[in-house]
Chain A
Amino acid sequence: MSVTTTIQVNGKSHSVAAEPDTPLLYILRNDLKLKGARFGCGLGQCGACTVLVDGKPVQSCDFPLSAAAGKAVTTIEGLAPDGKLHPLQQAFIDEQAAQCGYCVTGIIMAAKALLDTHSRPSDAEIRTALKGNLCRCGTHQRILRAIHRAAKEIAK
């Protein structure tokens, strides 16, 4: 049964009417028109839909709306609220760290969660943090470089 749930997304409060077990991904994309989190598998296996809930990366395709109630959700759109790119986004441009780019927003969100808790992660730590994110174009090395670059930039 459809119920009204209030969620906080990128600092704003939204009330949405949907079944409570609806995956958060569809609420973000279809109700809030935030298309940056992407559908990749619907099974929590690929990370294309990664967003932050209370600062932790979750796969929003596999995360029910009801579990997001009362929590702070951050999506890629929340990284550059005033149009100024987040250092991670700028670093991905500087390193040209995308090919098709479909996986990239999820990876940036996973990287943000990492950098929020580890200011200068090692290569191994970054790779581990991206365990849940798949890239099919083979852009891995550029993505790793971009995350190192962003970490350095943020530490400045």
Chain B
Amino acid sequence: MSQTPAPRKLPGNLNTNRRLDRWLKINRDGTVTAFPGKVEIGQGILTALAQIVAEELDVALERIRLAPADTTYSPDEGMTSGSQSITDGGAALRYAAAEARDLLLQRAAARLGVSLEQLSVADGVVKARSGGSVTYWEIATDDLLAREATGDIAPKPASLHTIIGSPAPRRDIPAKVSGAPIYVHDLDLPGMLHGRVARPPSYDARLAGLDEAEVRALPGVVAVVRDGSFLGVIAGREEQAIRALTRLKRIARWEESTVLPETPDPRFLLREVTEDQVISEKQDAAAGARAAKTLDAEYTRPYIAHASIGPSCAVARFDPDRCTVWTHSQGIFPLRRDLAGVLGVEENCITAIHMDGAGCYGHNGADDAALDAVLLARAVPGRPVRVQWTREDEFNWEPYGPAMVVKLKAGLDTQGNVVNWTEDIWSNSHSTRPNGLGGVNLLAAWHLARPHPPSPPRNPPLPGGGSHRNAIPIYEFPNERVTNRLVKRMPVRVSALRALGATANVFAIESFMDELAAAAGADPVEFRLRHLKDARARAVIETVAAKAGWRKGEKGDGARGRGIGFARYKNGACYVAVIVEIEAGNELSVRRAWAAIDAGLVINPDGIINQTEGGIIQTVSWALKEAVRYDRSRILTSNWDDYPILTFEESPQVEVTIVNRPELPPLGAGEGTQGPTAAAIANAIHNALGVRLRDMPFTRDRVLAALA
């Protein structure tokens, strides 16, 4: 029996989207179109991808056009998540562009009648040493890239880079400061109607009664859409839809049965049934026997909201043979699979087109809003319907970053070395994104008369991990046992929030490292270095300590103090060390932060700095202020008064240093700061005030309680 050989593995997402013309098109007008399947979510990815293409093709950055992600023509790159866009999407474009350049040079060599070695390229102009020249734009034809990639053409070495590694202004910022209609929220199609969904008052509430007639009679109302407990309204003008929504909410009668955890304290997780997995085990009995002092501690993180500034939005239109949806989803292909499941149609009957949204920081309401728009548009064929979630919709219904509990126990020998380490983590899964794995992970689908149950939650596996992301310490401990206790029951809707489990795990590990350092009478910086072999890890810690002017054994003064936190994100992406300075006055505030980051080869230095600054400031907000509130049946977080975030008056100064490693592969860099920052703040509070806060957020009340 003959067997077809497995196709060879190609770099990044070129492996799953193997044709070169899926990624690139050389245009006759002197431009190049790149087709990334990864999307802009405010992280600046499109600018970095354009830099990669320009570099490998040897053309000016200004020549690169980026096609918006669209299921009609874009490569399926899954989700834009997990800091993988440069490593997976960037690698694909990098190799595709290198190969396209090679094909262009071959064609140029034939045209000029010279050998490849005699050619040089500058901005798309190919010159032969003997004198002749030809441009990419003259020789490129559609068939040039109509082939499978080989992956054989190596990208340029870092020594030849002129565009990669230089700061490039973000291509999206001019439109963003001008007020141009670039977000899906701004899409305004001819004949467009406005929709709103009257969400139930609690997760499992059933619509028991409604007199639709009085809502239908309101000015501008075009339709009331009711399917089981899914209830929406469509109107001609936006404010008419809002008025109709208000009326619907007032007159709809619901039967509520939701039971939420009895306490906002994440320790309710300790009483849940868990699926346990030992994810790291190291044994050295002789070393363990040297333990002279043992410490244990328990850390928690509450449910945290993504809290996007722009509530989710989508526009959809039903035509006779096609449904089109404009969305700020992070994954138009997975979304389309789930939408097809709800509509009972083939995937290729649906077109999903990405447009920018407000920053999402993970899985928020974007995909849910897309299904809302589709369900409402189905009631008015041919008319586009725009659904804008309310602030309350977003806060009540988005899937939060899960609450977590981390228990730690460690032994120190008389020299102050950690000789054993036991860690247990409790958490739900960190991904309930649309995934096409049998169910439908879209909110409205669960409320229909014939509901589609959700797909089973997927806790992303190690080494990246979900709840157990960064649970395995990067430090060298001779004895170690780390157990992931996955809580299957999900009373509160949860999914991916920037950094997933890394925030709580690093917060716990790095706080505990400071507790151990204190017990060992060691300086926190020196204590970490003592347990670290990885040279890159050591370098970011040493760099941030130098930049911040860290003094060995420095002590706070009862009001101000500093602390450090460190991690290598996912134990495989960027290395980040953070030092913060806090001040405890009437309120607790973070005044300054310093960070050092090693993300391997840096594509756009200013992009990395912007993401690192932003990550730190966002985490200051999480760590000082944020927790979703609920009672036994309802979510109580509905607006910014219920869920304050860091303001301009409270935001710290941040200074970021890049440890550039141009000779090493690029590493994901968008989510490396969360864990280190949360821990650095807790450590700084201890340094300043002598109290140890182990429960996020570190509110004034908690500080006062700890001091009492």
Chain A positions within 8 Å of B, measured between CB atoms, are 2, 18-19, 22-23, 26, 29-30, 33-43, 45-46, 48, 75-77, 80, 85, 89, 92-93, 96-105, 108, 126-128, 130-131, 133-144
A2 to B239, CA, bound (A): 12
* A146, closest chain B residue (CB): B177
Q: A45-B641, A100-B42, A102-B358 are in contact. Are A76 and B653 (CB under 8 A)?
A: no
B249: Cβ under 8 A from any A Cβ: no
CB pair A130–B648 under 8 Å, yes or no, is yes
B210: Cβ under 8 A from any A Cβ: no
List of B residues within 8 angstroms of A26 by Cβ? 237-239
- Shortest Cβ distance from residue B178 to the other chain A in the assembled complex, whole angstroms: 6
CB pair B388–A39 under 8 Å, yes or no, is yes
List of B residues within 8 angstroms of A42 by Cβ? 242, 390-391
Closest 10 A/B residue pairs (Cβ): A36-B179, A100-B42, A138-B617, A101-B176, A100-B359, A138-B614, A76-B179, A102-B358, A140-B651, A35-B186
* B186, closest chain A residue (CB): A35
CB pair B648–A140 under 8 Å, yes or no, is yes
A100 to B670, CA, bound (A): 13
- Interchain Cβ contacts under 8 Å between A and B, 13 examples: A18-B237, A19-B219, A35-B180, A36-B180, A92-B177, A93-B174, A100-B41, A100-B359, A104-B176, A136-B308, A136-B618, A138-B651, A140-B651
Q: A99-B43, A136-B309 are in contact. Are A40 and B649 (CB under 8 A)?
A: no
B654: Cβ under 8 A from any A Cβ: yes
List of B residues within 8 angstroms of A136 by Cβ? 307-309, 358-359, 361, 618, 645
User: In the complex, given contacts A46-B309, A96-B169, what are 12 additional A-B residue pairs having Cβ atoms less than 8 angstroms apart?
Assistant: A29-B186, A30-B238, A33-B188, A43-B639, A45-B640, A46-B640, A76-B178, A92-B173, A98-B42, A102-B308, A138-B614, A138-B618
- Shortest Cβ distance from residue B695 to the other chain A in the assembled complex, whole angstroms: 23
- Shortest Cβ distance from residue A88 to the other chain B in the assembled complex, whole angstroms: 8
B11: Cβ under 8 A from any A Cβ: no
- Shortest Cβ distance from residue A155 to the other chain B in the assembled complex, whole angstroms: 20
* B673, closest chain A residue (CB): A138
CB pair B173–A38 under 8 Å, yes or no, is no
List of A residues within 8 angstroms of B308 by Cβ? 102, 136
- Shortest Cβ distance from residue B657 to the other chain A in the assembled complex, whole angstroms: 15
Residue B648 contacts which of A93, A98, A100, A133 (CB distance < 8 angstroms)? A133
- Shortest Cβ distance from residue A151 to the other chain B in the assembled complex, whole angstroms: 16
List of B residues within 8 angstroms of A35 by Cβ? 179-181, 183, 185-186, 188
A44 to B648, CA, bound (A): 17
Residues 156-214 of B contacting A (Cβ, < 8 Å): 169-170, 172-174, 176-181, 183, 185-186, 188
CB pair B359–A39 under 8 Å, yes or no, is no
B68: Cβ under 8 A from any A Cβ: no
Chain B 633-655 interface 0/1 with A at a Cβ cutoff of 8 Å (1 = within) = 00000011100011111011110
B44: Cβ under 8 A from any A Cβ: yes
CB pair A43–B640 under 8 Å, yes or no, is yes
Q: How large is the interface on B (under 10, 10 to 19, 20 to 34, 35 or more residues)?
A: 35 or more
- Shortest Cβ distance from residue B662 to the other chain A in the assembled complex, whole angstroms: 22
Residue B309 contacts which of A85, A89, A103, A126 (CB distance < 8 angstroms)? A103
- Shortest Cβ distance from residue B575 to the other chain A in the assembled complex, whole angstroms: 20
Residues 29-50 of B contacting A (Cβ, < 8 Å): 41-44
- Shortest Cβ distance from residue A38 to the other chain B in the assembled complex, whole angstroms: 6
Q: A96-B610, A140-B651, A141-B617 are in contact. Are A18 and B311 (CB under 8 A)?
A: no
Residues 338-360 of B contacting A (Cβ, < 8 Å): 356-359
List of A residues within 8 angstroms of B646 by Cβ? 138, 140
List of A residues within 8 angstroms of B179 by Cβ? 34-37, 75-77, 105
B613: Cβ under 8 A from any A Cβ: yes
Residue B178 contacts which of A30, A39, A89, A140 (CB distance < 8 angstroms)? A89
Residues 82-114 of B contacting A (Cβ, < 8 Å): none
Residue A98 contacts which of B176, B391, B654 (CB distance < 8 angstroms)? B176
CB pair B391–A99 under 8 Å, yes or no, is no
List of A residues within 8 angstroms of B41 by Cβ? 100
A130 to B646, CA, bound (A): 12
- Shortest Cβ distance from residue B641 to the other chain A in the assembled complex, whole angstroms: 7
List of A residues within 8 angstroms of B460 by Cβ? none
List of A residues within 8 angstroms of B685 by Cβ? none
* A139, closest chain B residue (CB): B614
CB pair A40–B651 under 8 Å, yes or no, is no
- Shortest Cβ distance from residue A63 to the other chain B in the assembled complex, whole angstroms: 13
List of A residues within 8 angstroms of B690 by Cβ? none
- Shortest Cβ distance from residue B474 to the other chain A in the assembled complex, whole angstroms: 25
- Shortest Cβ distance from residue A142 to the other chain B in the assembled complex, whole angstroms: 7
List of B residues within 8 angstroms of A101 by Cβ? 42, 172-173, 176-177
List of A residues within 8 angstroms of B639 by Cβ? 41, 43, 45
Chain B 613-639 interface 0/1 with A at a Cβ cutoff of 8 Å (1 = within) = 111111001000000000000000001
A43 to B395, CA, bound (A): 14
CB pair B651–A141 under 8 Å, yes or no, is yes
* A128, closest chain B residue (CB): B649
List of A residues within 8 angstroms of B44 by Cβ? 99
A133 to B647, CA, bound (A): 8
B606: Cβ under 8 A from any A Cβ: yes
CB pair B359–A137 under 8 Å, yes or no, is yes
* A130, closest chain B residue (CB): B648
